Chains A and B, each alone.
Chain A
Amino acid sequence: MSEKIIINDVTLRDGMHAISHQYSKEQIVQLTEIIDDAGADIIEVTHGDGLGGSSIQYGFSKVSESEMISTAVATAKNAKIGVLLVPGIGTIDQLKNANDLGASVVRVATHCTEADVSEQHIKAARSLNMDTVGFLMMAHRTTPENLLEEAKKMEAYGAQTIYVVDSAGALTMDGVRQRVSLFKENLGVSVGFHAHNNLSLGVANSIVAIEEGATRIDASLAGMGAGAGNAALEQLIAVMNKLGIPHNMDLYKVMDAAEYIMKPMMPRPVQIDRLSLTLGYTGVYSSFLLFAERAGKEYGVDARDILTRLAELEAVGGQEDWIITVAQELGLVKN
């Protein structure tokens, strides 16, 4: 295990969900500065739902997409700036704009069984010479074998790294182990892992992924991200140090940043509570948390019932609109 693990910080992308996409320009500058100074290799900065995500469906961003990206690009001294692109939400035109503004990494994300919608986007990213990553979300919803078949498609389109993405924080350690090891054995590209901490396994699952050969890991300051958050960067680095896993980060700097900068910015504590635990327990997309909480209040139903129903219906990432109709339906049944 001599190869340094690449840390892809998602504080300014997945973290957007936890702040309802309301980071100010000053906050983006401040966070980019400290994360870059602490040694992150890649800093992802986009609306939580990626390029083009600013909408009624997912919530509008405070700062425009172009301004977010150019602010981060201007601020970071060493880290590469990355963006998320979900085909169906964002477009190749928006990717070109991000690249023009200086973004050099893109994660093209699809639901775990729908990799074939990413072909044009992955090819476009490669033709822009971007560091191109395939991002298979909700990886718990399909078998390791099927996930590998989808990953092979992304590899064939030209993705240089492929991620197992535990969007619902629903995978346990063996689930991560099987998926990452199958990727490692059968793909010719690098493998990455993206955790959510809904079952308190964010760091443990990331370590398992590294043990199985993943070389890119996502994390965020104090776990700032959807649901119970991602793998907390400071915790991950502490554990990696203890295990002798090499990386480029400074532990004290990320500890300080998490404690003094990140936590005071959180409008709602990013933590495991009854709702975020329900996400991991039932396997629901983590960014549904705040939407279900609001809908629960509005229609007078328990948000856990909304999430459980969405799990039964097999809702996928991006279907925030379904939360409203499910809440309406449950509200009607109750009354």
Chain B
Amino acid sequence: MNTKTNVAIIGSGNIGTDLMYKLLRSETLQPVVMIGVDPESKGLTLARENGLKTFDNGIQGFEENPNMADILFDATSAKAHYNHAEILKGLEKKVIDLTPAAIGPFYVPSASSNSDSIEQHDNVNMVTCGGQATVPIMKAISNIVPVEYGEIVSTVASKGAGPGTRQNIDEFTKTTALALEKVGGAKKAKAIIILNPANPPLLMRNSIFAKIEAGHENKESEIIDSILKVVEVVQGYVPGYRLISAPEIKDGIVKVFVEVEGLGDYLPKYAGNLDIITSAAVKTGELMAISLTKKENVR
């Protein structure tokens, strides 16, 4: 008996394709269809090779076959997602949005308040790669002490930053900063992104700075413990996520440096920025699937 939940991928680009490989390994999710617009695209070709059905007429193909999947991952663009979200709402489907559209609330698996809350939402947004890499750390700090100001710097290999990131760089910084506040718990936040063309390409690096409120200086060891714990939680779904050096606290500022090595499923290992958002999306999908199964059991 197949107990896996059927899911669909919208978008056959780098993100959609990487997502497919990760979904194929999931114990709770079964990717059944990839939705694209170009039958000759590499993504759709790889999907067919891996036993998925493909539609090359966009969301229309799925509208005609709505029972194929219960959860859909959207890896297209913000503009396309506005349209997809509307249609999928009508079909009563659960949606995980990997675009900057952010119609639904942000979701960061290791930081969002608790996994049960996922069932209240039909559409959740995966923030940005920088957000998935840094919000868990910010949250781990703000769980212990109030964070007056949070700041992150994400450095991504040029080769790992596609046209989507390049043409929406303001959205990246704004969305990431917002998630650091809303999910990460910083009262005010700022995000910076840097593209580095070094060869061989560098792994995605993230620096997380948190200015803690005065009067909480004695919580150092609790803060460090909290950070170390969340790193382990993130490693549960992104194995290549690790601290570059031991976290430091100086002059009321917590400094944490992490790098992300990808699994090399579709893009090479340096593209950890891709892995962290697709892995987080898979984890979110798994949590959603569990909540769907629970509901069915109650019925």
Contact = CB atoms under 8 A, between A and B. Distances in A.
A328 B245 CA distance: 8
Given A92-B170, A119-B167, A55 B155 contact: no
Contacts of B245: 325, 328-329
A117 B166 contact: yes
Nearest to A49: B192
B199 to A, nearest CB: 8
Nearest to A93: B170
B194 interface: yes
B169 A113 contact: no
What are the 4 tightest A-B residue pairs by CB atom distance, in nearest-first order?
A: A314-B198, A321-B207, A56-B209, A88-B193
A291 interface: no
Contacts of B202: 313
B255 A111 contact: no
Given A319-B194, A325-B244, A57 B169 contact: no
Interface of A: 52, 55-57, 87-89, 91-93, 111, 113-114, 116-117, 119-121, 313-316, 318-319, 321-322, 324-325, 328-329
Interface in B197-244: 197-199, 202, 205, 207, 209, 211, 244
B286 interface: no
B278 interface: no
B151 A114 contact: no
Nearest to B210: A56
B194 A88 contact: yes
Contacts, number: 88
Contacts of A322: 155, 205
Interface residues of B, number: 33
Given A91-B174, A321-B207, A329-B245, A55 B151 contact: yes
Interface of B: 149, 151, 153, 155, 158, 163, 166-170, 172-174, 190, 192-199, 202, 205, 207, 209, 211, 244-245, 253, 255, 257
Nearest to B155: A319
Given A57-B153, A328-B245, A314 B257 contact: no
Given A57-B192, A117-B195, A91 B151 contact: no
B62 to A, nearest CB: 31
A87 B170 contact: yes
15 contacts: A52-B190, A57-B192, A113-B158, A116-B166, A119-B166, A314-B197, A315-B196, A315-B198, A316-B195, A316-B198, A319-B194, A319-B196, A321-B153, A322-B205, A325-B244
B255 to A, nearest CB: 7
Contacts of B153: 57, 318-319, 321
Given A117-B195, A314-B197, 14 more contacts: A56-B149, A57-B207, A88-B193, A314-B196, A316-B195, A316-B198, A318-B192, A318-B194, A319-B155, A319-B196, A321-B155, A321-B257, A322-B205, A325-B244
Given A120-B170, A321-B153, A324-B257, A57 B209 contact: yes
Given A91-B173, A319-B155, A322-B205, A120 B167 contact: yes
Contact of A88 (B149, B169, B244): B169
A56 B253 contact: yes
Contact of B169 (A87, A321, A328): A87
Nearest to B193: A88
Contacts of B166: 114, 116-117, 119
A127 to B, nearest CB: 15
A216 to B, nearest CB: 26
B93 to A, nearest CB: 32
A89 B153 CA distance: 9
A52 B190 CA distance: 9
A55 B190 contact: yes
Given A114-B158, A318-B192, A120 B257 contact: no
A252 B198 CA distance: 45
A315 B196 CA distance: 7
Contacts of A328: 245
A57 B190 CA distance: 10
Contacts of A119: 166-167
Nearest to A314: B198
Nearest to B151: A56
